[in-house]
Structure 1
Amino acid sequence: MHTQNLNKLWDIALLLAVITVFYNMLEGLVSVFFGISDETLSLFGFGLDSFIEVMSGIGIWHMIIRIKRSHNYDGPLQSNIQAKRDAFEKTALRITGISFCILTVGLILTVIYNIITNHKPETTFWGIVISLISIVTMVILMTVKIRVGRQLKSDAIIADAHCTKTCIYLSIILLVASVLYEIFKIGYIDSVGAIGIAFYAYKEGKEAMDKAKGKQCCECGDTQH
């Protein structure tokens, strides 16, 4: 790939990482605020999930910055960029894997607390609003990340895109739970779905950690071009 095109792709990847970090920080703050004020456990947990996703975004952000700096030099370093990129991505994959594991534990604890306390929120209106915004935003981010990751042949960026996919699933759960509660006043409708998401998060986290260790993992995103 031409150097100019390659640099442009890394610029796009960096921009996506920055957008992901700051969007999740904002989403986390807003969700936690309304989750506490409306006593909405699902929205509060969703906000904590957003903060956890920041960890993955920071890992990708840091990796891309280091790779871009490597491209600014000539000589022996330039010929070793691909090898160094692998090392950078292993670190980012570990961060992504750890983030998924934390996300899994957080979801399970949220479900347990939800069932034990039998707590019902005052309203889930803001859960509907926030989840709709999140779904649209994350679908766009995931689509672009996967495309850029495949063009750069970067497992770390593709893994981060799958981290974004988990955010979409969580947003759908929040949306369904919020809508059903507003209509039927049924609490804890998201518990079964949250357990399914926890399993998915664990699976993706394990896969990211295996890739960081150099193991070959089956992932559709790696084989489609």
Structure 2
Amino acid sequence: MPAPDRASLIRQAFRLEWLTVTWMVVEGVVAITAGVAAGSLTLTAFGLDSVIELASACVLIWRLNVELRHGQAFSERSEHLASKIGGGLLFGLAAYIVAGAIWSLWTRHGEAFSLPGLIVALLAIPIMTLLSRRKLKIATQLGSRAMRADAVESITCGWLSLVVVIGLVADLLLGAWWVDAATSLAIVWFVVKEGREALTGEECCKHD
């Protein structure tokens, strides 16, 4: 089966990013609303993470639109800028995770149970897994560090969803308020590593 041409890959990438935008709006609204209503710091922060992911998807849509309109050569500058922005957003996401975890541990404030929050977090796990896998594949085929950075944010969103679920259930069943803060710190190294690659322009998307 012949490999898809670059224009076809760009169109596939567009569809993935618009799907991301749609889900992030739903996820962000539900998580923030549920978090505020339940007095849950971590659930509210999870909703704010959706806003970061939404911003990343919008940057990618802009970068892809430049290439679709003006061609690959013209898109190199926008690719570089989008990669830098993506890297910056990843570092912002890492800072948010660390600050949120420290604050939760310092204030002894864990998850407060919220059924809407649990549902949206459970749905986010498979959705983000599927989106991130497709984004990584297309990022490799396009040789796009910017899209890889966006895919990493989708991966991180999926892991944070799992952290939220674990925290909600643990607090409900065991009163273990500290679980979500402790487990969220485990993924910071991954986010920082990918953010550094995006910012410095290190090779991350290898062609076969």
Q: Fold-level match, TM-score > 0.5?
A: yes
Shift of residue 195, structure 1, vs aligned partner = 1.6
Assess if the C-alpha contact under 8 Å between 2:24 and 2:54 holds in 1.
yes
Query: RMSD over aligned Cα, in angstroms?
Result: 2.0
Shift of residue 153, structure 1, vs aligned partner = 2.4
| TM-score (normalizing by structure 1) | 0.83
Shift of residue 168, structure 1, vs aligned partner = 1.3
Q: Does structure 1 residue 166 correspond to structure 2 residue 151? A: no
Q: Does structure 1 residue 10 correspond to structure 2 residue 4? A: no
Assess if the C-alpha contact under 8 Å between 2:14 and 2:64 holds in 1.
yes
Assess if the C-alpha contact under 8 Å between 1:131 and 1:174 holds in 2.
yes
**Within 1, Cα distance between the matches of 2:182 and 2:109?**
16
| Structure 1: gaps of 5 or more residues | 72-80
Bigger Rg over Cα = 1
**Percent identity at matched positions?**
26
| Structure 2: gaps of 5 or more residues | none
Shift of residue 124, structure 1, vs aligned partner = 3.7
Q: Does structure 1 residue 136 correspond to structure 2 residue 119? A: no
**Compared CA separation, residues 153 and 120, structure 1 to 2 (3 A):** closer
Q: Return the letter of the residue paired with 2:61.
A: W
Q: Return the letter of the residue paired with 1:39.
A: G
Tell me the secondary structure at the aligned position of residue 5 of structure 2.
Answer: helix
What is aligned with 1:146?
136
**Within 2, Cα distance between the matches of 1:130 and 1:111?**
21
Shift of residue 167, structure 1, vs aligned partner = 1.0
What is aligned with 1:76?
none
Q: Return the letter of the residue paired with 2:137.
A: R
**Within 1, Cα distance between the matches of 2:164 and 2:112?**
15
Shift of residue 120, structure 1, vs aligned partner = 4.8
**Within 2, Cα distance between the matches of 1:210 and 1:50?**
25
What is aligned with 1:157?
147
Shift of residue 224, structure 1, vs aligned partner = 6.6
Assess if the C-alpha contact under 8 Å between 1:177 and 1:189 holds in 2.
yes
Assess if the C-alpha contact under 8 Å between 1:27 and 1:47 holds in 2.
yes
Assess if the C-alpha contact under 8 Å between 1:32 and 1:47 holds in 2.
yes
What is aligned with 1:223?
206
Shift of residue 154, structure 1, vs aligned partner = 2.1
Tell me the secondary structure at the aligned position of residue 190 of structure 1.
Answer: helix
Assess if the C-alpha contact under 8 Å between 1:124 and 1:181 holds in 2.
no
What is aligned with 1:88?
78
What is aligned with 1:198?
188
Q: Return the letter of the residue paired with 1:161.
A: A
**Within 1, Cα distance between the matches of 2:145 and 2:194?**
13
What is aligned with 2:87?
97
Q: 2:107 aligns with which of 107, 117, 126?
A: 117
Assess if the C-alpha contact under 8 Å between 1:124 and 1:182 holds in 2.
no
**Within 1, Cα distance between the matches of 2:129 and 2:92?**
22
Assess if the C-alpha contact under 8 Å between 2:98 and 2:185 holds in 1.
yes
Shift of residue 122, structure 1, vs aligned partner = 4.1
| TM-score (normalizing by structure 2) | 0.90
